[in-house]
Amino acid sequence: MLLDHLDELRNQETRQTNTLELEAKISLEKPPERYQRPKRGFIYSLIHPLDFIGWDHFHQFMRDGHELMKQENYLDAAGAFNLALLERKTSVQAILGLVQALEGLGGVINAHLAKDYLQKALKLDFKNLDIYEELIYISEKLGEKSDALEHRRRRFTVRTLQSQPNNPMILNNIGVMLLELDQHQRAIQYFQKAVIESPHMYLACFNMAKAWFKRGMQVDGKKAQHHCLQSAVDALDEGRVDDPPGMLLRGKILLKLKKYGEAKEILHEAMYRAPAMKEIHATMQLVNEKLGNIQDAMSNFNTYELLKKDVKKKKGNRFGFLKNLKGGD
């Protein structure tokens, strides 16, 4: 239905939406897959003859998209960049063009759609600073200050990597960024580099263990999974990770390796050190179920539920306190 109204929308004279504060002229659930090409003269046809023969579709769509952006025809520009992206699915430049067209259209829905495409772009090229600039811009326009701050932090990390490629903390932070993008194998590579630069580095070893564990949950085949889980254990050993979060992770790994007795032992120690860490009780419940200790599993479940309610209560009290500070009823 959207495409049926494109021609009508093109003729509207009120398409001046240069910022996200303005109401969108049209909100897109997905970018259009067709557009009206910009009019060009004879000289252009001499410079870019392949555009008219139809051989070089990707560059034709990209050139059309940029020309339509200059004309502030954002709807057709979105169509052109989207077709370029369909031609070349890994083109970050096509995604950035589409994002800028969506920004031109304005509106909250288009802004969120643009953010979704930028997340895809990060998975293709997380070092591209233009992606972070767009994420910062959109987040600020949406009033998402915490997201904007996070994107600024990531941009700083990527910039610093260019000037300090062997900085272990920066390498670790890049790994964390990739882990958040579900790029587990690439994250592991950066954690490994961090450990090479700073042997036994706690943070890098702990995060590398997390990455190996998450990868182990995705790979096919028992042998591949066992390799990932054992690599996670090795990473914890390398960093001498023995605090409650590390012990919890080790317990989860041992549970997946079906070493239930060892898992129970390490989780029991973690529970003693951090009795209010609810996820330890949840994992211990699973271990006791595997061991057939149903009564103990029920006790773990009840403790977990009590801790979860306590967390919600504390959040509610914090909200009430802030409300009172603001003069709320």
- Domain contains 298: yes
- Domain contains 81: yes
Residues of the chain with pLDDT under 70: 1-25, 39-56, 314-329
42 and 147 inside one domain: yes
| Rounded Cα distance, 298 and 289, in Å | 9
CA distances 200 to 3, 186, 192, 204, 292, Å, are 58, 20, 11, 8, 37
Q: What local confidence, expressed as pLDDT, does residue 109 receive?
A: 93
Number of alpha helices (DSSP H) and beta strands (DSSP E) in the chain: 17, 0
How many other CB atoms are there within 10 angstroms of residue 220's CB atom?
7
The structure tokens listed for 35 are 């557009």
Q: What local confidence, expressed as pLDDT, does residue 34 receive?
A: 75
Q: What local confidence, expressed as pLDDT, does residue 5 receive?
A: 44
Residue 98 and residue 79 in contact, taking contact as beta carbons nearer than 8 Å: no
Identify the domain containing residue 116 by its residue range. Answer: 1-163
Q: What local confidence, expressed as pLDDT, does residue 327 receive?
A: 53
| Rounded Cα distance, 86 and 80, in Å | 10
- DSSP-derived secondary structure letter, 326: T
CATH number of the domain encompassing residue 128: 1.25.40.10
Single residue among 163, 184, 203 that ends a domain in this structure: 163
pLDDT tens digit sequence for 31-81: 887 777 776 554 555 555 555 545 568 988 999 999 999 999 999 999 999
pTM for this one? 0.79
* Unique residue bearing structure tokens 């182990």: 216
152 and 249 inside one domain: no
The structure tokens listed for 254 are 């041992």
